[in-house]
Amino acid sequence: MSLLAPDLYSILRDPSFLRVIGVDVVIQMVDLGFEAGMNMQPGLPSKASTNGSPYIRGGEREGVLNKAKSIKSHPANAASNGEAGSLKGDSRDGLVYLTTCKIGHLVEVHLKNGSVYSGIFHAADVEKDFGIILKMASLIKDGGLRGHKARSEFVRKPPSKTFIIPADELVQVIAKDLSISSDGMSNAVQSEKSGELLTDSSISKSFHTDQGRELKPWIPDGDVPQGLDNVFDDPWKRGRGWDQFKVNESLFGVKSTFDEEIYTTKLDRGIRTREMEERAQRIAREIEGENTRDLHVAEERGFQLNEKFDIDEESKYSAVLPADAFDDSGFDEEDDELLDTCNDETFGGSSTSTVQKPVSSSGKGYGELRDASQPSRNNTNVDQMCSISDDHAQHLPSEQRSKDFTAPGSSISESQMGERRNKNNPEFSHSNRSAEESVSGHGDSKEGAKLGGGGTSAWKTVAEKERQVSEVSGKPKSESFTGQSASRRSSESRPGPSTSSRPGLSPSSSIGSLSSSEKSTLNPNAKEFKLNPNAKSFKPTAAARPQSPMADASFYYPAAPAPVQQMPGMPLGYGIQPQYPGQQQMIYYPGHQHPQAFYPPNAQPQFPQQQQQMMMGRQPRPQMVYMPPPPYQPDNPYNQGRE
Amino acid sequence: MDPAGASVANAIGGSEGEKFAKGNIYSVKLITGDEFRGIVMAYDPIPNFVGSKPRPGHSKNTRMVNASFITGLSYLGKTEEPLLTDSCWVNLDGLRAKEALAVRQAEADAERMGVGVTAEAQSIFDALSKTLPVQWEKSDILVMKEVRVRSPYLSDCVFGGTDAANNRVKKVLELERRRLQLFGT
């Protein structure tokens, strides 16, 4: 082999000595002057590689450089080009092609001395005498001096990384299961398929199937009824041409009772058919051309709804959407108006007409709810609210735009509260609904329930909030509430301590907002909270509330659990939550009054009072403190943002 | 032509035409004792190599034979040219990938092969590797990097590791040995 350094070559010449060379040898290939017919991969770079070296190139007239470490690279031999003349080109080509096909394949090499090696075909010296190089070759059958050993005693040797076999020793190279076809594609494709990425079909495929068999068109034999060739070409026009029922009947005597009209609406194809058709088409076009905000509808219609293409499939199709998953900022404005109108309607419009813009994207259907929590609410419209929330738990309140919601100038806290609620699960509304029904007359609570986060604990808070809100509004609705709620609400208007009066709210947000500003946004007409000693006490279930991360415990009672004191008429039954300035708050309800109504009608009223008392010097509380958790969103990322 | 080197006894029929013409079917006997039949796909007298593929219906083994070592050759017939060099093409990138993959797999397999160990040891290793993470360490089998099984790989050759691990390896070893005895390798 002219490629190797002479000394090395002489060693290899030694028939009884097959040395393993630890260095990857790249056989330098010389352009063999292929005919045009032999189409190799064009543009093959003449790079030195240790695997699958491009030892065949077409069209180039320079040799591949050999960067083997210990082997002197042999410069391109232009002279040898002439050797591959057209005379022998054909046969050489064939052989070269065959050899190329073997690259990467596990081959068995028989040597003159009877040894059989198995390895991965790496390269062959096509120019000269077809010495070959195997990778990871291992001796299968030792034909050496020791003769044939019993297999069981055969001590294994590690496979040789690179194994050079000079042509003199080479008797034959057998490549098993190698499909030699004119199409070199099959080689690569097969290998890819059986690559590390095993598809199910390749795993379960039977090994006996022909992977590359030649397909022939099916020629029917005589029995097949004629005239079927074009049956499926145009199903509408030719539908009349093939009546399966008739054929069935004629062939098998099967009478069919199929009546198409059972399954579909009969079209009135009358005189004015064309007119109606056109009208229908027009309407269809209008509908389909409508602007839609829904991602899925838009996708069906082919609109690119979201310019941000970084929304992956999971968030598009399978993830549970937070309320403002997609950028529908455009809806914010609409929502606000909606909310305002809805709020007005619900709350009788007595609230201030300050429009509360949602701080963040309101999301679907919750914007209105959020604003609905504004102080000025009308109890009578609660039902509407209920329906709204029910219907539009997930959808924009587009249909309800007729409702007149005002967004009373609620504090920022409320909007923030609303925001938090907005992020809540739509299912929340459903769970709240049941609660609503059970709590008659507590319309606000229903709303609050809707507004709160998912989970019972959440809407307890909300109910609480609602009560507060309603109290502020001083609406007749507040009458329906126990007086406590009203008093509670009024406490909101108080500075400082009032912050604590909104336990259901995101404490940080509510407190911050309340304390910072907007007493003005509170309803000045709100009725002052008066404790109703006759109010029924709240007996929640004994089950501990699910822990929800308290945003900022500091806003809650940081003190140790206060002693339980009995208030006249108030049942002692509330467990105080272990209040620790941690992130978790356990709500413990020793008793439960209404199985469905989770909110403690009495506890909350005490709440602000107690809070105030606490703030004012820890006066003994008349009651256990009920600390409802914030809207139940343990994992809601948006909550954290606010905190 | 008479290739240099080993003597070739060419029993070639008279009506054959060019030797090793493409499409010829031969029954070939090699110096190693191998015998096969195949259709000549390519032949190059310079290196004197014949590429042949077996007749359809047989297993698909493509061979490249050094004609220098053909001891017996009998002409069986002729078919059409099996390979049209004009329309042949190779996907070199695919081949390269295939080779890389094969090398990787072979290397992984090589890891599992013990060096200088008996076949019995290897079969024990293989059996153990089905359920336990094992690796070779010289001629010891190292299980879970803790427990060592020394030659001759009996139950009392298990050392190391926690008691639980040790016992587990012992148990598995016993069972595997029993299974090997029953079913062979």
Q: Determine which of A186-190, A535-539, A551-555, B2-6 has the lowest per-residue pLDDT on average.
A: B2-6
Closest CA to A342 of A310, A374, A299: A374
What residues contact A519, with CB distance under 8 A and at least 6 apart? Answer: A411, A493, A495
Q: Determine which of A460-474, B21-35, B43-57 has the lowest per-residue pLDDT on average.
A: A460-474
| pLDDT for residue B59 | 52
**Residue scoring higher pLDDT (A363 or A116):** A116
Q: Indicate whether A127 belongs to any domain.
A: yes
Instruction: With beta carbons under 8 A apart, name residues in chain A contacting B43.
Output: 91, 94-95
Q: Indicate whether A604 belongs to any domain.
A: no
Average pLDDT over residues A269-287: 84
pLDDT-derived band of residue B113, with 50, 70 and 90 as boundaries?
A: confident
Q: Indicate whether A42 belongs to any domain.
A: no
Phi then psi for A631, rounded to 5 degrees?
A: -50, 135
Most confident of A80-84, A409-413, A515-519, B155-159: B155-159
Cβ–Cβ below 8 Å for B30 and A172: yes
Q: Which candidate from A106, A171, A192 shows the least CB-CB separation from B31? A: A171
pLDDT-derived band of residue A300, with 50, 70 and 90 as boundaries?
A: confident
| pLDDT for residue A207 | 55
> For residue B31, how far is the Cα from the chain centroid?
20
Of A299, A314, A329, the residue at which a domain comes to its end is A314
Mean pLDDT taken over chain A:
55
Average pLDDT over residues A392-417: 42
Phi then psi for B71, rounded to 5 degrees?
A: -95, -30
The Cα A135–Cα A102 span in angstroms is: 12
Per DSSP, the three-state class of A163 is strand
Helix A412-422 and helix A443-451: axis angle, to 10°? 60
CA pseudo-torsion sign B168, B174, B178, B184: positive
B18 close to B57: Cβ distance less than 8 angstroms:
no
**Residue scoring higher pLDDT (A318 or A626):** A318
**Residue scoring higher pLDDT (B111 or A409):** B111
Instruction: With beta carbons under 8 A apart, name residues in chain A contacting B115.
Output: 156-158
- Give B3 to chain A, closest Cα distance, Å: 12
**Residues in a beta bridge with B58:** B56
The Cα A301–Cα A282 span in angstroms is: 16
- The answer to whether A152 contacts chain B (CB < 8 Å) is yes
A 330-389 residues inside an 8 A Cβ radius of B? none
- The answer to whether A183 contacts chain B (CB < 8 Å) is yes
Host domain of residue A292 = 228-314
Q: Indicate whether A582 belongs to any domain.
A: no
Share of chain A above pLDDT 90, in %: 0
Token code pair at residue B140: 């010891």
pLDDT at A546 over 60: no
The Cα A504–Cα A460 span in angstroms is: 8
Q: Indicate whether A33 belongs to any domain.
A: no
Per DSSP, the three-state class of A428 is helix
Q: Indicate whether A172 belongs to any domain.
A: yes
Instruction: With beta carbons under 8 A apart, name residues in chain A contacting B26.
Output: none
User: If residue A278 lies in a helix (H) or strand (E), which one and from where to where?
Assistant: helix A273-289
| pLDDT for residue A317 | 80
pLDDT-derived band of residue A283, with 50, 70 and 90 as boundaries?
A: very high
At A547, the amino acid letter reads Q
Average pLDDT over residues A22-31: 35
User: If residue A639 lies in a helix (H) or strand (E), which one and from where to where?
Assistant: helix A637-642
Cβ–Cβ below 8 Å for B85 and A92: no
A409 close to A524: Cβ distance less than 8 angstroms:
no
| pLDDT for residue A85 | 37
Cβ–Cβ below 8 Å for B92 and A172: no
Using alpha carbons only, give the angle A530, A384, A411 rounded to the nearest 5 degrees: 50
A488 close to A611: Cβ distance less than 8 angstroms:
no
A520 close to A564: Cβ distance less than 8 angstroms:
no
Task: Quick: pLDDT tens for A177-228.
Answer: 766 554 444 444 454 444 456 677 766 665 555 556 677 888 777 766 666 6
Q: Indicate whether A18 belongs to any domain.
A: no
Residue with tokens 């606490």: A614
Q: What is the 3-state secondary structure (H, E, C) of A175-229?
A: EECCCCCCECHHHHHHHHHCCCCCCHHHHHCCCCCCCCCCCCCCCCCCCCCCCCC
Find the CATH number of the domain harbouring A106: 2.30.30.100
pLDDT at A169 over 70: yes
> For residue B81, how far is the Cα from the chain centroid?
29
| E strand intervals along A524-618 | 548-549, 584-585
Q: Which candidate from B86, B92, B114 shows the least CB-CB separation from A37? A: B86
What residues contact B57, with CB distance under 8 A and at least 6 apart? Answer: none
At A427, the amino acid letter reads E
- The answer to whether B63 contacts chain A (CB < 8 Å) is yes
- ipTM confidence: 0.71
Per DSSP, the three-state class of A10 is helix
Average pLDDT over residues B143-165: 80
Q: Which candidate from A44, A172, A178 shows the least CB-CB separation from B66? A: A172
B 141-180 residues inside an 8 A Cβ radius of A? none
pLDDT-derived band of residue A457, with 50, 70 and 90 as boundaries?
A: very low
| pLDDT for residue A270 | 73
Q: Are strands B134-137 and B140-143 parallel, antiparallel or unpaired?
A: antiparallel
Of A263, A284, A314, the residue at which a domain comes to its end is A314
Q: Which candidate from B42, B96, B106 shows the least CB-CB separation from A136? A: B106
Give the chain B residue nearest A96 (alpha carbons). B42
Instruction: With beta carbons under 8 A apart, name residues in chain B contacting A175.
Output: 61-64
Task: Quick: pLDDT tens for A603-615.
Answer: 444 444 444 444 4
B 111-130 residues inside an 8 A Cβ radius of A? 113-120, 122
- The answer to whether B13 contacts chain A (CB < 8 Å) is no
Burial of A58-90, coded b for 16+ CB within 10 Å and e otherwise, reads: bebeebbebebeebebbebbeebbeebeeebbb
| pLDDT for residue B143 | 82
| pLDDT for residue A497 | 42
B141 close to B128: Cβ distance less than 8 angstroms:
yes
Average pLDDT over residues A526-540: 74
A 28-67 residues inside an 8 A Cβ radius of B? 35, 37-41, 44, 49, 51-52, 54, 56
A507 close to A591: Cβ distance less than 8 angstroms:
no
What residues contact A530, with CB distance under 8 A and at least 6 apart? Answer: A483, A484, A486, A487
Average pLDDT over residues A448-466: 43
Average pLDDT over residues A115-138: 80
Which alpha helices (H) appear in chain B, and where do they start and end? 92-112, 119-129, 163-183
Task: Quick: pLDDT tens for A42-93.
Answer: 433 333 334 444 444 333 333 333 333 333 333 333 333 333 333 445 567 7
Query: B83 vs A55, A56, A74, A176, B43, CA distance in Å?
Result: 21, 18, 32, 18, 12
Q: Indicate whether A293 belongs to any domain.
A: yes
Tell me the count of A-B CB pairs closer than 8 A. Answer: 242
Token code pair at residue A147: 């003769």
Task: Quick: pLDDT tens for A336-381.
Answer: 555 555 555 555 444 444 444 444 444 444 434 444 444 444 444 4
Q: Determine which of A131-145, A249-263, A506-520 has the lowest per-residue pLDDT on average.
A: A506-520
pLDDT-derived band of residue A469, with 50, 70 and 90 as boundaries?
A: very low
Instruction: With beta carbons under 8 A apart, name residues in chain A contacting B59.
Output: 176-177
- Give A259 to chain B, closest Cα distance, Å: 54
Residue with tokens 């701080």: A359
The Cα A567–Cα A537 span in angstroms is: 11
Q: How many domains does chain A have?
A: 2
**Residue scoring higher pLDDT (A456 or B86):** B86
Residue A620 CB neighbour total at 10 angstroms: 10
pLDDT at A559 over 50: no
Average pLDDT over residues A439-454: 42
Instruction: With beta carbons under 8 A apart, name residues in chain A contacting B60.
Output: 176-179
- The answer to whether B9 contacts chain A (CB < 8 Å) is no
Q: Which candidate from A35, A112, A178 shows the least CB-CB separation from B69? A: A112
Give the chain B residue nearest A121 (alpha carbons). B99
Per DSSP, the three-state class of A100 is helix
How deeply is B24 buried, as exposed, middle or buried, from its count of CB atoms within 10 A (0-12, 13-18, 19+)? buried
User: Mutate which of A13, A51, A111, A169 to disrupt the B interface (most B C-beta within 10 Å)?
Assistant: A51
**Residue scoring higher pLDDT (A179 or B113):** B113
